[in-house]
Amino acid sequence: MFIKRIFLLSVPVILSVFISCSESPTDIGASLLNEDFIGVTQINSLTDSISQSSSSVKQVVPLGISERIFIGKSHNVEAYSLINFWVYISDSLLLEDFRQDRINIISSTVQLANTYEIGDTNASLSFNVHNITSGWTSVGFTTDSLPLLQYNAANIGSNIAITDSFSTFQLDNSTVLSWIKDSEDSVINNDNGIFIAPVSESRIVGFQANSSSTDTITQPQMHVIYERAGDVDTIKFYAYEDVSVIEGEIPDGNNETIYVQAGLTSNAKLWFDLSGIPANSVINFAELTLTLDTIQTVVGNSFTNSLNVYMILDSANIDSITSGFTMSRDGGTFKGNITTIIQAMYTLQTNNGMLIRAGNRADGLELFAIKSSTAADSALRPYLKITYTNKK
């Protein structure tokens, strides 16, 4: 019985040992499999006559979500900002003293934390500040909203001081006093904040915007120094709403250059003819390379050095796009793996081209000048390399 059991149980073990002796597969017999032969081919837009086209397209984007507000003028854009402060005094006696003109405002200073610069950093920055007289909200506010904005023509700002970490300017005390007096009045409320319009050229500064994720000291704020019954005191009001508006036009590339710009916003559209890829192919790898015109490219001191590329789903609507893929900076080019985009275009038989955007459209004003599909030097044009597998 013992011998039988040993014999019976040893059989699966012996089989397992034999199985583990298999070698790795070789190419013996490959010639018999001609019905299943496949092969890999690589093509590129430079040497394989893949036609392409490119253009720049402006897209107005609300910047209410931006971590920064911008003020100034540089290269092709002008940056305006709107800020609304939460003017609220919890001390009812103090508020009453303000209302009864028993308090004298000595100064009203707006403080902004510097986080970004673009253009000539040695140039001066000057701007006018206006009292906004109509209601507004940062949600969805764009350049199209500016014509509807009402504000006083008088400049209520003065003593602009720009340093490395903070910038300040003073506001007209009487305007601030009127905000304070009306702060509890639900009928008369003339506190709609300030509209800042740039005057000087060649420099834009970006400041920390109202955000719950940063320290209080970096938030836009207004310091009001006042005198009450001989005592001097300070009260701070913080911004609860702010937004920037960027105005400008896409530069003329003269068929040599297309532009991707954050803030404005300018996107690039790119299209490649994929009809040369045989039917029933599988895309193994696709890489897009864009060459920068480094002379025309303008970047800030702190920016996202990448582009995003998307597949356009609807040729009539550039907002109808897929999720994006990042193109990283590699010297004077941007390179990105767009295998999934090309595979989708090929599989779905839908080729409306690709949209190129700045890596961060809201927190900077970078202008990336990219060699276009009609650039004189064909080696500098957008370069698409595709590796695919197909049946032989």
CB 61 within 8 A of CB 246: no
d(CA 301, CA 17) in angstroms, rounded, equals: 66
To other proteins, the closest distance from the beta carbon of 311 in angstroms equals 12
DSSP characters over 159-183: EEEE-SSEEEEEE-HHHHHHHHHTT
Q: What is d(CA 133, CA 249) in angstroms, rounded to the nearest whole number?
A: 28
Nearer to other proteins by C-beta: 11 or 295?
Answer: 11
Between CA 277 and CA 52 the distance in angstroms is: 15
Based on the shown chain and the rule CB under 8 A, indicate whether residue 285 belongs to the binding site for other proteins. Answer: yes
Q: How far is the CB of 60 from other proteins (least distance, A)?
A: 33
**Nearest distance from residue 14's CB to other proteins, in Å?**
9
Residue whose tokens read 């109202």: 210
Residue closer to other proteins, measured from CB, 37 or 301: 37
How near is the Cβ of 54 to other proteins at its closest, in Å? 25
Instruction: Single out the residue of 2, 6, 18, 215 in contact with other proteins (rule: CB under 8 A).
Output: 18
Report d(CA 353, CA 336) in Å as an integer. 15
Max CA separation in the chain (angstroms): 113
Q: How many C-beta atoms surround the C-beta of residue 148 within 10 A?
A: 9
DSSP 123: S
- How many whole angstroms separate alpha carbon 328 and alpha carbon 346? 24
Collapsing DSSP states into helix, strand and coil, what is residue 59? coil
Which listed residue (6, 21, 148, 229) binds other proteins by CB under 8 A?
Answer: 21
42 lies in the binding site for other proteins (CB under 8 A): yes
26 binds other proteins (CB under 8 A): yes
* CA 191 vs CA 100, 123, 186: distances in Å: 19, 33, 11
Q: Least distance in Å: CB of 6 to other proteins?
A: 12
| Only segment of 68-76, 281-289, 301-309, 374-382 that touches other proteins (CB under 8 A) | 281-289
153 Rama class: left (phi>0) / alpha (psi -120 to 50) / beta: alpha
CB of 2 to other proteins, least distance (A): 11
- In the complex, the smallest distance separating the C-beta of residue 283 from other proteins, rounded to whole angstroms, is 6
Q: Tell which one of 28, 148, 153, 379 touches other proteins (CB under 8 A).
A: 28
Among 2, 6, 24, 188, binds other proteins (CB under 8 A): 24
Which span (11-19, 126-134, 234-242, 260-268) binds other proteins, by CB under 8 A? 11-19
For residues 5-41, b (16+ Cβ closer than 10 Å) or e, as one string?
A: eeeeeeeeeeeeeeeeeeeeeeeeeeeeeeeeeeeee
Q: What is the DSSP letter of 34?
A: G
Q: Minimal distance in Å, beta carbon 50 to other proteins? A: 15
Site for other proteins in 205-234 (CB under 8 A): none
Residues 98 and 89: beta-carbon distance below 8 Å: yes
Give the contact letters, 333-352, x = binds to other proteins (CB under 8 A), - = no: ----x-xx--xx--x-----
Is 3 one of the binding residues for other proteins (CB under 8 A)?
yes
Q: Least Å distance between CB 346 and other proteins?
A: 9
Among 103, 194, 264, 283, binds other proteins (CB under 8 A): 283
CB closer to other proteins out of 371 and 385: 385
Size of site (CB under 8 A) for other proteins:
47
Which residues make up the interface to other proteins (CB under 8 A)?
3-4, 7-8, 11-12, 15-16, 18-33, 35-42, 280, 282-285, 337, 339-340, 343-344, 347, 387-389, 391
